[in-house]
């Protein structure tokens, strides 16, 4: 999946205006490998243990979890693209266009909006273990 050009441009503007040095993936997301890791590289079918936080571009933290076990194929498209770029023990920051995160729906917890529709997301993910 590739993010629409308009989303890529908005995210590129954010990256530039905040002087962020990051690589651009062909999907349209940007990433920074903070630490490459030395363990196993996850595949799309891997179960992974991660510590992560997810923020909006205004700095509001909307998600956070430590030592959580997840199946990579069930995660956001951005995670399926970004996490296999590192190995166990690694850490990556993902700058995600809306269509590779929660898209035009956003994310709700009951009736409360957690992630507004069409939001750029910023994830800081430490890959603790690949199972």
Q: pTM of the predicted model, to two decimals?
A: 0.96
More confident residue, 110 or 27: 27
With beta carbons less than 8 A apart as the criterion, state whether 28 and 97 touch.
yes
Residue 121: its pLDDT value, please?
A: 98
- The residue count of the chain comes to 131
Domain harbouring 94, CATH code: 3.10.50.40
**Over residues 90-115, mean pLDDT:** 95
Number of folded domains that form the chain: 1
Residue pLDDT, tens place only, 30-63 = 999 999 999 999 999 999 999 999 999 999 999 9
Nearest to 44, CA basis, from 87, 97, 92, 83: 83
pLDDT tens by residue, 80-96: 999 999 999 999 999 99
What is the predicted pLDDT for the residue at 14? 97
Specify the pLDDT at position 29: 97
- The pLDDT-based confidence of 103 (bands split at 50, 70, 90) is very high
Range of the domain at 116: 5-130
pLDDT above 90 covers what percent of the chain?
97
Half-sphere CA count of 109, side-chain side, radius 13 A = 4
Residues 6+ apart with CB under 8 A from 5: none
């Amino acid at each position: 999946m590739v993010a629409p050009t308009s989303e890529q441009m908005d995210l590129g503007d954010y990256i530039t205006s905040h002087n962020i040095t990051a690589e651009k993936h062909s999907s349209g997301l940007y990433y920074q490998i903070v630490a490459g890791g030395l363990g196993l590289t996850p595949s799309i079918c891997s179960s992974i243990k991660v510590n992560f936080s997810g923020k909006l571009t205004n700095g509001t933290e909307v998600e956070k979890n430590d030592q959580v076990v997840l199946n990579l194929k069930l995660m956001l498209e951005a995670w399926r693209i970004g996490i296999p770029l590192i190995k166990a023990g690694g850490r990556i920051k993902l700058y995600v266009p809306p269509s590779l995160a929660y898209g035009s729906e956003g994310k709700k917890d009951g009736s409360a909006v957690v992630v507004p529709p069409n939001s750029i997301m910023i994830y800081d993910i430490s890959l603790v273990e690949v199972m």
